[in-house]
Amino acid sequence: MKINYSILILFILLIVSCQSKNSYDPERNYSDIQKDLTAKFILAEDSSVIELPEGHFLFDKSLSLEGKSHLTIRGKGIDKTVLSFKGQTDGAEGLRITNCNNITLEDFTVEDAAGDNIKVMDTKGITFRRMKVAWTGKINEDNGAYGFYPVMCDGVVIEECESMGSSDAGVYVGQSENVVIRNNIVYQNVAGIESENSDNVEIYGNEVYDNTGGILVFNLPGLSRYGRNIKVYENNVYNNNRKNFSVPGAIVGYVPAGAGMIILATSNVEVYKNVIKGHKTGGIAIVSYELIKAMDEMNDDKPEDADLPDGIAAFNADYESDPNYDPYPGKIYLHNNVYDNDKWIPDLNSDMGKMLLVKNGFKTPDIIIDGILPDNYLVENGSVNDTYKICIDEENIKFLYLDAENDFEGMNENDKNYKCEQTIL
């Protein structure tokens, strides 16, 4: 029987569009300590502690730290100390920390910043511990981009925290080195956890669910540094099927709902001992920036001149002019993960999901490789260039090689070419 996929897709899209939208509406009774706390931030001496009282506190402008060392900001607990920036009129971030050393934030919540809830730049040693970042009300593109947002930092620890509602990434680290993201709960964001252009990153022990995409490891062009040496292990990543609600024009808008993990144009990545289950598009996708280019060219709905908020990246069509950027993933090693996928319809709000349904039918792969290869993928003796070697040492998986470079002509489910082991430093 010949299936009319157009009618089927329209029917399923109707079902998806009728699903209810979620909202986060905690009870709040605000008090005013803005003047007093702003002064404490400005006048804080090195090696001191700023104690935050119990209560819900409303601010109309950012709280800033600059040039401080060995400082701790401590609340009375996630549910007891809440700093809200709802209706903020001055500044884009809730907390903004720049050019500092050894700063610790612990035991409080930051909500509803106009942009990012907590942004940290050019800081050596930043720890977030037992914190929550969130946006209240409906979960949509009007929410800020990032919950935790350290960028260009050295020595980042994000542990035992909670993040929800970000229109880009709940837990993000960008252009940084020596990063640990562990034992966090991350949900209802577009990207749950995102490591972008960062070195020496460990992501483990996290609970990641109900985002559009679970854990993303990206390298994007045109930035100050490029990431490598990333280990993702012992995470519980499940049911990340939320409809993408990113700002139009953002590159994270190309993440299809139902993506457990995506490794994009990054090298030296090891993924092991994770539980990855319940994703309607795929468990793990290993893709090149060339695939993003193709998706961008197919996107008739993208804005011509997207006016994106600060920090949100769009597709960079000029990526080939960056001599330090390699758009292809390489030295990837997947092993000892547990996959469990009972979904059978991919995300039909994305071109990727529609393509998977048409080309692959009602099957959800555990691992997808886009099959877009660099010119030097093979060396002279015909073996794979070590720079681009991908090893998949997994048992009983549903594998899909897209062969997107050749219009899917060579698409297949045979993973024998990737059965190998390798050492990732």
Extents of the domains making up the chain: 138-406
pLDDT above 70 (res 20)? no
- Tens digit of each residue's pLDDT (9 = 90 or more) over 125-144: 999 999 999 999 999 999 99
Cα gap 126→366, rounded to integer Å: 35
Packing angle of the helix pair 5-17, 351-360 (nearest 10 deg): 140
pLDDT above 60 (res 4)? no
- Tens digit of each residue's pLDDT (9 = 90 or more) over 171-201: 999 999 999 999 999 999 999 999 999 999 9
- Tens digit of each residue's pLDDT (9 = 90 or more) over 352-395: 888 888 888 888 999 999 999 999 999 999 999 999 999 999 99
pLDDT value, residue 21: 57
The whole-model pTM stands at 0.93
Average pLDDT over residues 296-310: 79
Instruction: Round the average pLDDT of the chain to a whole number and report it.
Output: 92
